Structure 1
Amino acid sequence: MSHPFSCIPPAFLDLLHVEYPFAFGNYAMFMRSIREGMVHLHSSLEENNPYRDGLPSSFNIFVSIKIDLCIGRYRIELITQATFPGALRVIKEAFCQDEAAAVGSEVNKNPVAAEELMELCADAALDGASLVAVDVKTKEVAAAVFNKIQVKTSDASEKTFFEIFAEKRCTQASSRSLIQFMVDVDERCNLFEKYKVDCSLEIMFIATLREHRRQKLATELIKNSIEIARRIKDGSIAPMKVEDLGPKYSHLNNPKPLNTYPKICQAIWTGKGTQAIGKLLNFKVHLTVPFSEFVFNGKTYSERIGDEAAFCEVVALSL
């Protein structure tokens, strides 16, 4: 019995791959995914379906930006109202407990500080550029990356998004220490000046639940984050709305319309895993900073991490 997608004309598949490259690592993977039924296309009889012509009358396809790719048992997709709570759970249970700076700043021991970082994630999610990996069978969010669109300030004395968040919305020393660490490291290497750009996509927080690790989910999330960053330019990535986040975050403000777009993708890699992924994906390392330079509550981050040689990297990739 042939696969139900076998009736799709090859020309349509070519168009789909070109139009939605962020969902597919390469053409061979794309075609294999079609054959094996791992690509989920959504049936539609809508009159405005641009791909109706040339398809069998009994089988029409509607394609939107939410098209996704299954990688084995996982599906990579943009964060939505439905997956947002699961994405926060990943950050709270995985990032806040295991990530190096979270351990160094004792966010892992302070539930209130962790909750404050959830609000930071909610704010970032509104940009519409964050992603999750969903377990296809259980529908559980297994991994998440929260990305923040950063725009260069017009005045050098103007405070950054992270600085304002730490000052106005962090009540805990732990969460303030972690965000100040990010600010400190970013200030040591001004990527806007280095690349002569006015906007970037920052890979802010990325984590995988322990039971889903070693599946290369972080690699796929970062790969797709790069492609999402490239697509912001053509307006195909829509911001989320405050109401999508639920009543807990109803006090947040919807993002202002962008009058620019990311020209670089940037990150602070804080562990060996993300540092290896960055190297694989050709991020350029601009600065290496030892965790021993950061102190919280009388101990260096490296002491709490348990590795005096531990360090972070400031990296970027031109888009």
Structure 2
Amino acid sequence: MKRVSESTSNHVTICKFRREKSPPGRITVDEQIVRLNEQMDMVLENQKQIIETLRKLTNSGSKADESRESLIEEEELQKFPLTEIEQLDIVEEALNDPDNRYFQTMKDIIKPENKPRPGGLRKHFHLLMKADFFVQFNYDGIHNKYPFKKYKNFNNAIYPFDEAVSIFLVAWRRVSSDKSAKMRAHNGRVWGTLHDGKFKVQSVTEADLEEALDVLDGSFFINESVCIACGINLPHNAQARQELRELCNITAKDGVSLLVKEVATERIVAVSFNKIQYPPAPGEDHFFLKFRNEVAQSPQARRLMDFMIEVDERIDVCAMYNMDCFCELMFLATLPSHERMGLGRTLASYTIELTKELAEGKGLEDIDEQLRSKRPEAVTALWSGSFSQKVGRASNFKVLNSVSYEDFEFEGKRFSERISPLHKTCEHVIYKF
């Protein structure tokens, strides 16, 4: 409310009017203003007293509420790791208040004494939620599972402690790792050498996996055409890149992915993440769709997955070639410092050789135990740029279909508007034995 006059030290001073003596029985405007200001001072003084009284009452009530809440939380905080949906609902509701003690408790679990546990969330998520409870979830709540996307506060509470990954992503990795065969921990089979022994091609092993994934960060995610079209190359879309790293992490467990190492430095300079594909069981989604629905959360990663799924489904290679299993050369990447050295072509050639061995029942000891009964009859790929298309031609892949980037959109722009004009199409290709 705006005062008519100026007030100093609770004394009213009339600044803009000159007092005049009022005629008998009449009150001048000046006198009316003075009276109004005096009444206003009384009102303000009363307000101060009322506010002070309310503040005391509120503080007293808050302390009582805090005391009650503290006792309740003491009981609820003992429920980690969570084992049932009701507990997760309680935590989710409590985390609406950022000062709730659950936040600090979760931080203490993940980073005791503010120091990350060795292995981070991927090895210690079971301290927050039991694995047999977590497997009852997927991201969207499909296939009769709980929707993890519902628990936004629980997810967000983790980000300050481990900003590189989402909680669902890390937990999905851990649980899937516990329930599937792990990659062999040996040095990795050496498939061959090139450039007079300066480089060697070998299988991706658990020991090499993180560095192999880093090659994607340094090349594929920033230079590959569809990654650019979907904004995955942009610095602020780190979650999308992390989700695609997770796709490759799971893919590598098949045991058919390859890498190129610089012999002198043991540095990984090129990778080929390969996946054994086969029709899913009735009622189940195929691998890419399952990952897209249950793990990928970012719109960028989902759009890339949708693109791969759509282009793959335009040609039913299993029906076309009367086969029920093939190896998909999923992501092929070379560090910029080692481009134009034939490393991509070499990885494609050895992927073909590896797949041929599996078709003949050889080398089965190096792959996931659950895949040893499979006999892939071909290698397929999506060559998304003119450079990888040259690799395909040099390796004798056959083009099944070519799609124009004019036909695909993301966030209001055609892929062709974001991708270099050097790369106009994506080719679906096959190498059939």
TM-score (ref. length: structure 2): 0.54
User: Of 319, 332, 335, which aligns to 1:193?
Assistant: 319
What amino acid maps onto 2:222 in structure 1?
Q
Structure 1 or 2: larger helix share? Answer: 2
Q: Distance in 1 between matches of 2:369 and 2:191?
A: 25
User: Cα distance 1:255–1:96, how it changes in 2: closer, same or farther (>3 A)?
Assistant: farther
For 1:142-221, list aligned pairs within 5 A.
142-153=269-280, 155=282, 158-221=284-347
How far 1:276 moved relative to its partner?
Answer: 1.1
Q: Which has the higher strand share?
A: 1
> Are 1:310 and 2:424 matched, yes or no?
yes
Cα–Cα, structure 1 residues 113 and 208, in superposed 2: closer, same or farther, change >3 Å? same
**Secondary structure, aligned partner of 2:429:** strand
Q: What RMSD, in angstroms, separates the aligned Cα atoms of the two structures?
A: 1.9
Paired AA for residue 134 in structure 1: K
- Correspondent of 2:405 among 285, 288, 291: 291
Per-residue CA deviation, residues 169-194 of structure 1 (Å, 9 max, x unaligned), is 01100000001100000110111111
Contact kept? 1:126, 1:255, Cα under 8 Å: no
Q: Distance in 1 between matches of 2:328 and 2:376?
A: 9
Match of 1:261 in 2: 375
Give yes or no for contact 1:202–1:265 (8 Å, CA) kept in 2.
yes
- Which letter maps to 1:108? N
Cα offset for 1:255?
A: 6.6
Tell me how far 1:82 sits from its aligned partner.
Answer: 2.4
Q: 1:97 to 1:65 in 2, by over 3 A?
A: closer
Q: CA deviation digits over 1:73-110, x for unaligned, max 9?
A: 21111111222112101112211110001000111111
CA contact (8 A) 2:272 2:347 kept: yes
Residue 302 of structure 1 deviates from its aligned partner by: 1.2
Task: Provide the rounded CA distance (Å) in 2 between the counterparts of 1:151 and 1:220.
Answer: 25
Is 1:84–2:230 an aligned residue pair? no
Distance (Å, rounded) in 1 between the aligned partners of 2:191 and 2:290: 35
**Counterpart selection for 2:200 from 56, 65, 75:** 75
Task: Return the alpha-carbon distance in structure 2 between the equivalents of residues 154 and 120 of structure 1.
Answer: 20
| Structure 1 pair 276–135 and aligned structure 2 pair: CA distance change class (3 A) | same
Cα 1:168–1:128 change in 2 (3 A) is: same
- SS of residue in 2 equivalent to 1:260: coil
Q: Is the 8 A contact 2:272 2:332 kept in 1?
A: yes
TM-score normalized with structure 1 length: 0.72
Count of aligned pairs: 242
Contact 2:325 2:374 in 1 (8 A): yes
Residue identity in the other structure for 2:227: A
Write out per-residue CA displacement over residues 128-164 of structure 1, whole angstroms, 9 at most, x where no aligned residue. 0000000111111000000000012355x75221011
Query: 1:207 Cα shift?
Result: 0.4
Seen in structure 2, the aligned counterparts of structure 1 residues 268 and 102 have a Cα distance that, compared at 3 Å, is: same
The amino acid across from 1:142 in the alignment is V
Residues 8-38 of structure 1: CA deviation (Å, up to 9, x unaligned): xxxxxxxxxxxxxxxxxxxxxxxxxxxxxxx
* Deviation >3 Å, runs of 4+: 237-240
Q: Post-superposition shift, 1:257?
A: 3.7
- Could you list the runs of 5+ residues in structure 2 that have no partner in the other structure? 1-186
SS of 1:137 mapped into structure 2? coil
Q: Which has the larger radius of gyration?
A: 2
CA distance in 2: counterparts of 1:257 and 1:306, whole angstroms: 39
Structure 1 unaligned blocks of 5 or more:
1-63, 241-253
Q: Cα offset for 1:112?
A: 0.8
Contact kept? 1:76, 1:221, Cα under 8 Å: yes
